[in-house]
Homo-oligomer: A and B are copies of this chain.
Amino acid sequence: MAPSARERILVAASELFYGDGIANTGVDAVVDRAGVALGSVYKNFGGKDGLVEAYLRRRDHLWRATWERVAADAATPLDRVLSVFDALLLWCRDQGADQGCAHVAGLVQLPAGHPAVEVALAHKDHLVQRLAELAAGLPAVDEVVADVAIVYEGVLVRMQLGADPEEVIPRARKLAETAILCR
């Protein structure tokens, strides 16, 4: 069956908010791209703020799913922490990440107090939280997580600046690995 208006809106918003920026994307543009009535946006999300929040929430959901799928295949604690990079490469191959992290971008663009801000912060909290769980078994877990988090955020920005995912993500993985091993 045809996807619901809600889903179509969310997909269109995702592409536009991520590609052109949140402030630069009008509700009208989302409506046009989704091929949907303006009212449907307000029926489903209550307004642009709600739409932005749902957009980040959905992206968070999708990311966690692909990461978990990849992490499940990792055997050792080392491979498990480094699975963020494998998941990221997978993510880039079918979604692209040439605008960096949508949640960091959200934090930059949204005014303090915007409902979507806490979603973005929760996304990042979850990142280090989950990294710590996956690193269990390694010595100095906190140190490892802090290092991996730096490299992870860094590679996202580098891609935003035009770096090739296929080249830079493996490099980041290696970088994080030697940081963990050569301590």
Partner of A100, one of B104, B112, B143, B181: B104
Contacts of A160 in B (CB 8 A): 104, 107-108
Closest B residue by C-beta to A146: B171
Complex formed: what's the CA distance from A55 to B156 in Å? 25
Residues A175 and B147 in contact in the complex (CB < 8 Å), given A21-B108, A105-B108, A154-B154: yes
**Contact B124–A161 (Cβ < 8 Å):** yes
Complex Cα distance A149/B149, Å?
15
Interface residues of A in 49-81 (CB under 8 A from B): none
Is chain A's interface secondary structure helix, strand, loop, or mixed overall? Answer: helix
Check A172–B150 contact: CB distance below 8 A: yes
Say yes or no: B168 contacts A146, CB within 8 Å: yes
8 Å CB contact of A109 from B21, B152, B178:
B21
Q: CB within 8 A of A108: which of B99, B112, B149, B151? A: B99
State the oligomeric state as a number of copies. Answer: 2
Closest to A120 in B: B161
CB of A3 closer than 8 Å to a CB of B: no
In the bound assembly, the distance between CA atoms of A108 and B24 in angstroms comes to 10
A168 and B150 form a contact (CB under 8 A): yes
Are the CB atoms of A24 and B111 closer together than 8 Å?
A: yes
- A38 beta carbon closer than 8 Å to chain B: no
The reply on A34 being an interface residue by CB < 8 A is no
Q: Does chain B have a CB within 8 A of A158?
A: yes
